[in-house]
Amino acid sequence: MAQSDESGCGFIVLAVVGVYFFAPASWTNAVWYGVKYKVGLSEVHTDAKPTDCDFMHAPLGNKDCSYVAHVKAYNAKGVLVAGEDAPKYGRDTKTRDPIVSYDGGKNWDWYPGDFPDLTVASVQVFWRKE
């Protein structure tokens, strides 16, 4: 009796999911954010995840806390261009002059000069306790 192709695909999916959940965060973050922001794996820098919320960290047990990854992406000049707290850039609908928002698009201000290069060159992943 021949093995079906479906069982091979299921094994591949399980292997990918297993690697994602059990591999070190620095490696999986590099792959995930490298693809998302179109940068090389070496350009994704992940801070070490703190262990004080881990179940097995002393004192043993549930700590009712966790750490969540947060991301900031920078261009070649080190200007924040994507990710958390990144400004939004646009153009005024009437004058076509450059405008910028620092609060997610709620309020807009005139932007002096030309926009920065919005091409992401490096990504920083850091952790916040929640």
- Percent helix, strand, coil in the chain, to 5, is 25, 25, 50
Which residue is associated with the tokens 């990504």? 123
Residue 41 has pLDDT above 80, yes or no: yes
Q: Please write the tens of the pLDDT for every residue from 65-117.
A: 888 889 999 999 999 999 999 999 999 999 999 999 999 999 999 999 888 99
Greater model confidence, 77 or 29: 77
Work out the average pLDDT over 17-26: 55
Length of the chain: 130
What are 72's strand-pairing partners?
83, 124
The type of residue at 129 is K
Element (H, E) at 99: strand 98-101
